[in-house]
Structure 1
Amino acid sequence: MITFILNNKTIRTTEHSGMTLLDFVRYEQRLTGTKIGCREGDCGACTILVGTLSQNSMTYQSITSCISPLGNAHGKHIVTVEGTNLKDKLTKAQEAMKANYATQCGFCTPGFVVALTGFALSNSEHNYNTALDAISGNICRCTGYKAIEKAAYQLVDNLENQDKHTVNWLINNEFIPDYFETIPQRIKDIEAKDFNQPQGKYVSGGTDLYVQQADHLADNEVHLIAAKDKLKGITIENKSCTIGANSTVSDLWNHAEINSYFPKLKQHLKLVSSEQIRNMASFGGNLVNASPIGDMTIFFLALNSDVTISNDHGNERTMPLKHFYQGYKTYDLNDGELIKSIHFKLPTNSTFFNFEKVCKRTHLDIASVNSAIHLTIENNNISEAHVSIGGVAAIPKYLHETSTFLIGKPLTSETVINANAVLQDEIAPISDVRGTSDYKRLLGRQLFFAHFTALFPKQFTLNDFVQHA
């Protein structure tokens, strides 16, 4: 039986674990403040909060409930917009939206309110940039974003004197209702062990699968693995990083030590979906979705990552990620096998990493072409190179020939221009809704050049490459 707390009510249900949390909230519980918009996690109208008990306190994150399976709510605190309400007065998030005239038709407003409430509850730094990140996955169709931004800024000002990690302060200052202080003990009282899982399709966060197969998953057996601790965690040991396949983009975003190795990590990851999706999407799911434009797949390919694969019997095998993909949506994974973890060497003082992406809008969009590069430079020569690119082949593409060509070459514009010629021979883009094949070739070239101008700005400008290309 799936058991969790929905707002201030304990839920025990035998509903199908593969149905979406959105449908359960709206149709089974009649909490219609959570809206149905795109059903792809793209608009944020269905945003809810998921609270997880950790060391006697709750950690809250926003997610899009339209692509989240009901079973993943087991042992959690689920908060809809109705669960944020105070009695006879507005919360600080609601008041900020009202005071700044940040709503017109009101369809998107519950999602914004929930996302802003999640921001107030979060352990992130409460500044203007993180407030805007919190609502990066919420789309408004009529109001215009400046008024909503002002509401977010007002909430930041209201949080200025907050005592860190104190739910009582948020209750006393009218950010959340007082029942929140009872939640940790009530979650402890729930039998939060794994509920009986059928032998169906493996699903972790669901952010890829539920966009494509929501109805099928709601009607058929699913085996939910998001709660499996053995697939979680980020560890650093012997100058290498191991990331559990159930870890999310937000886990990487919030990992202080990883950020010290990759100073531009948050800048790169901000190009990956929205905060709601980053809170849900697992790395393992991203890899096995096998999208030719999967952002994190391109990211890990350039880091020359290995993947460890385990099966039902506990046997494991490890292989380079660059050899994992065999064709469009096909890969080296047998029945009963799961990706367990991802491993890569951490950067050193002589290594350089960069990620680039072009899409129709800057954030929360699918790439037309994306690319990443990892270089080791010694005495102005390239001693190691790994280049990956998406959107130009049937698979997420590790550029074997381009990477090999760069090794041993001097770091000069001539080397980069000649490497682009190799790159163009190695890719085979097709024309589709994201652009013509010629356009994607152009993007591939420009992103390849952009890696070098971004990593070595004192040495290269774009003109150094374009005028000779």
Structure 2
Amino acid sequence: MIQFILNDKTIETSAISGMTSLDFVRYEQRLTGTKIGCREGDCGACTVLVGSLSKDNNIEYQSITSCISPLGNAHGKHIVTIEGTNLKDKLTIAQQSMKANYATQCGFCTPGFVVSLTGFAISNVEKTQENALDAISGNICRCTGYKSIEKAAQEVCDKLEFSKTKISLEWLIENEFIPEYFKNIPSRLKEFKTSKSLKQGIKIVSGGTDLYVQKADDLIENNQHLIADHNLLKGIAIQGDNCSIGAGTTVTELWNHIELNAYFPNLKKHLKLVSSEQIRNMASFGGNFVNASPIGDMTIFFLALNSDITILDKAEKERTIALKDFYTSYKTFDLKQDELIKTIHFKLPNKQSHFNFEKVSKRTHLDIASVNSAIHVTIENNSISDAHVSIGGVYEIPRYLHKTSAFLLGKFLTSDLILEAQDILQSEILPISDVRGSCDYKRLLARQLFFAHFTELFPNQFSLNDFVEHA
């Protein structure tokens, strides 16, 4: 039995856990304000909010795309559709801001924008326009000038009046951001006598952001083994100079981690290239790894950190392997039928080490990479004492560049060295022509992204002009 609160209504249903939340709210509950667009989590027309109780019994809301979210992941939570944001006989601040700035024409995309802006208002993030725009980064409008939508987002920020990261539900209710019933949701969720997990299904699914794009027709017909809320797979722990991240941890949890943002000053800049806020709220690292896409952004990210992964079987026996040894051929990896990834481990950067992630895609945000790449180098006395380079989109697997990384070791960092290393890089890749670019184009991108690592990390030492005449 799946139990949750949908807007102001308690739901108890024996529906298939693998069906999408979108289909449940539209076809079972007739809440048709949540729209069907792409069914790939790409357009944001189906955006809903998910509220979960925190350890201190407060409720935390995040936006998700319901078209690729299994209904079972709503178990024990508060799901808010556009209908659930409505006030009686008046518009909310988000709705009024969209109206006042003429930010809607056909109206199809408007519910998704309103839900996302409402989620921004009640979230824990700082109330700045940049964060408001991040909140709607997964919402697409095809007929309204986007500047009017940006103005609506700014108006929401202005109405919030201050930039505290957490605003009480009481204040938000009083100032017409959300309806009054929200204040009773935490106590109602506490009363739920639900187990953390549902009965097992035919396939292990975490956030579903990859699987429901590829195999939705198979998944929605059956109960699934849902692990998104499995405590054993959650959390980020730092001990000394080592970091351990649960495979069920989401990209947003990495984004919000204060300590890791100190170790990786450009972390949010890098992660902003990874999908949209709605998807980052759902997508897990373990899911990204086992999807085994040759251009998996987070796989490329963690390969450059020379990460290890711990794998757990049904008998709770563990084994640890290097992530760079995990992939064997296209969509094939070292994971048995009864195993799943438990944790990712890596050594944290120190004062001498430098990390960078680059990505090129047809759209800047919310798109699959044509080529992506990451690097982690340690420089001592201008000599490279440690180097790890990874690249995606140019080989049948996410590619850790063994020869290129080894070539850099022990050498002084010069433009000549980088040019020589780039030649070795080209020998380690084998791109193919496809919808994301020709073979030659991808080789060009691989070269340019490799150069970009050094111009980004060492701007006082290198510029692209150092490489152009030799390219």
TM-score by length of 2: 0.99
- 2:462 match: secondary structure: coil
Distance 2:207 2:200 in 1: 17
Distance 2:223 2:14 in 1: 13
Percent of aligned pairs sharing the same letter: 72
Measured against aligned partners, the alpha-carbon deviations of 1:200-242 in whole angstroms (never above 9, x if no partner) come to 1100000000000111001134100111011000010021110
The match for 2:110 is: 109
Contact residue 373 and residue 391 of structure 2 kept, 8 A: yes
Q: Which runs of 5+ in 2 are unaligned?
A: none
Distance 1:439 1:291 in 2: 19
Query: Residue 38 of structure 1 aligns to which amino acid in structure 2?
Result: C
Cα deviation for residue 195 of structure 1 reads 4.4
The match for 1:99 is: 100
Distance 1:328 1:64 in 2: 28
Of 214, 217, 221, which residue of structure 2 is paired with 1:215? 217
The match for 1:388 is: 390
The match for 2:134 is: 133
Distance 1:284 1:403 in 2: 25
- 2:52 match: secondary structure: strand
Distance 2:399 2:240 in 1: 28
The match for 1:302 is: 304
- 1:368 match: secondary structure: strand
The match for 1:12 is: 12
Q: Does 1:255 align with 2:265?
A: no
Contact residue 2 and residue 195 of structure 1 kept, 8 A: no
Distance 1:253 1:133 in 2: 12
Query: Residue 3 of structure 2 aligns to which amino acid in structure 1?
Result: T
- 1:219 match: secondary structure: coil
The match for 2:267 is: 265
Of 395, 404, 409, which residue of structure 2 is paired with 1:402? 404
- 2:196 match: secondary structure: coil
The match for 2:313 is: 311
- 1:377 match: secondary structure: strand
Measured against aligned partners, the alpha-carbon deviations of 1:384-410 in whole angstroms (never above 9, x if no partner) come to 100000000000000000000110111
The match for 2:26 is: 26
1:177-256 equivalent positions in 2, closer than 5 A: 177-256=179-258
Distance 1:446 1:279 in 2: 31
In the superposition, relative to structure 1, how do residues 199 and 110 fare at CA in structure 2: closer, same or farther (>3 Å)?
closer
Cα deviation for residue 198 of structure 1 reads 2.4
1:267-416 equivalent positions in 2, closer than 5 A: 267-416=269-418
Contact residue 17 and residue 222 of structure 2 kept, 8 A: no
Query: Residue 436 of structure 2 aligns to which amino acid in structure 1?
Result: R
- 1:357 match: secondary structure: strand
- 1:235 match: secondary structure: strand
- 2:215 match: secondary structure: helix
Distance 1:335 1:143 in 2: 48
Query: Residue 283 of structure 2 aligns to which amino acid in structure 1?
Result: A
The match for 1:3 is: 3
Distance 2:250 2:278 in 1: 11
The match for 1:462 is: 464
Distance 1:6 1:304 in 2: 43
The match for 1:39 is: 39
Cα deviation for residue 12 of structure 1 reads 0.2
Distance 1:325 1:378 in 2: 32
Q: Which runs of 5+ in 1 are unaligned?
A: none
- 2:290 match: secondary structure: helix
Measured against aligned partners, the alpha-carbon deviations of 1:151-194 in whole angstroms (never above 9, x if no partner) come to 00000000114774310000000000000000001001112313
Cα deviation for residue 11 of structure 1 reads 0.2
- 1:361 match: secondary structure: coil
Distance 1:56 1:432 in 2: 49
Distance 2:6 2:230 in 1: 22
156-165 vs 440-449, greater mean Cα deviation: 156-165
- 2:467 match: secondary structure: helix
Cα deviation for residue 288 of structure 1 reads 0.2
Q: How many residues are paired up?
A: 469
Cα deviation for residue 197 of structure 1 reads 1.6
Query: Residue 303 of structure 2 aligns to which amino acid in structure 1?
Result: L
- 2:391 match: secondary structure: strand
Contact residue 302 and residue 373 of structure 1 kept, 8 A: yes
The match for 1:60 is: 61
Contact residue 44 and residue 111 of structure 1 kept, 8 A: yes
Distance 1:199 1:152 in 2: 41
- 1:75 match: secondary structure: coil
Distance 1:143 1:452 in 2: 40
Query: Residue 31 of structure 2 aligns to which amino acid in structure 1?
Result: L
Query: Residue 362 of structure 2 aligns to which amino acid in structure 1?
Result: K
Contact residue 252 and residue 281 of structure 2 kept, 8 A: yes
The match for 1:156 is: 157
RMSD: 0.8
Distance 1:165 1:326 in 2: 48
Contact residue 162 and residue 169 of structure 1 kept, 8 A: no
Query: Residue 126 of structure 2 aligns to which amino acid in structure 1?
Result: E
Q: Does 1:78 align with 2:79?
A: yes
- 2:18 match: secondary structure: coil
Distance 1:283 1:198 in 2: 21
Query: Residue 92 of structure 1 aligns to which amino acid in structure 2?
Result: I
Contact residue 198 and residue 226 of structure 2 kept, 8 A: no
The match for 1:439 is: 441
Distance 1:97 1:43 in 2: 18
